[in-house]
Amino acid sequence: MARAVPSSPSAKSKAKQQDETTQRVLDHYLLAKLDKSQDEPKPGQVFTVVKGLDNECLLANLSGTLSSADAMANELAFDLEGSRHHLALGIQPSPLWERACSR
């Protein structure tokens, strides 16, 4: 019958050291912290979304923006004549298409 030989203290400490090193490496790559560069807006970026906003707030804001675009295109269409009038009327439903596509 084979007898179990206990591992030496140096082998245990080596294994523990390897485990700690492995954990540090995994934490470094998997729990990467945000750089300041990700928090700062990119050049030319005009609009940003505040972190932590809930979907309801974002959807309410989007709905208001699309309604405003609809109203502006409607007003503009009736101030124009001919092909420009038809072009503005063609643009007018695009916010509605946006709503339909995102459902």
* pLDDT at residue 51, as a whole number: 78
User: Quick one: how far is CA 12 from the chain centroid?
Assistant: 44
What mean pLDDT is reported for the chain?
75
Q: Tokens 């492995």, residue?
A: 22
Residue 1 lies in a domain: no
Q: Give the pLDDT band (50/70/90) at residue 83.
A: confident
Asked whether residue 65 is domain-assigned, the answer is yes
Q: What is the pLDDT of residue 103?
A: 45
Question: Which range marks the domain in which residue 49 is found?
Answer: 9-101
Residue 76 in domain: yes
pLDDT at 20 (0 to 100): 92
pLDDT (tens digit, 9 = 90+) per residue, 27-75? 887 776 655 556 677 788 777 777 787 888 888 888 888 788 878 877 8
- Is residue 40 a part of any domain in this protein? yes
The reply to whether 2 falls in a domain is no
- With beta carbons less than 8 A apart as the criterion, state whether 47 and 62 touch: no
Torsion angles phi and psi, residue 51, rounded to 5: -65, 145
* Domain presence at residue 93: yes
pTM: 0.41
Number of domains in the chain: 1
CA atoms within 13 A on the CB side of 23: 6
- As a whole number of angstroms, the distance between CA 66 and CA 97 comes to 10
Contact 89, 70 (CB under 8 A): no
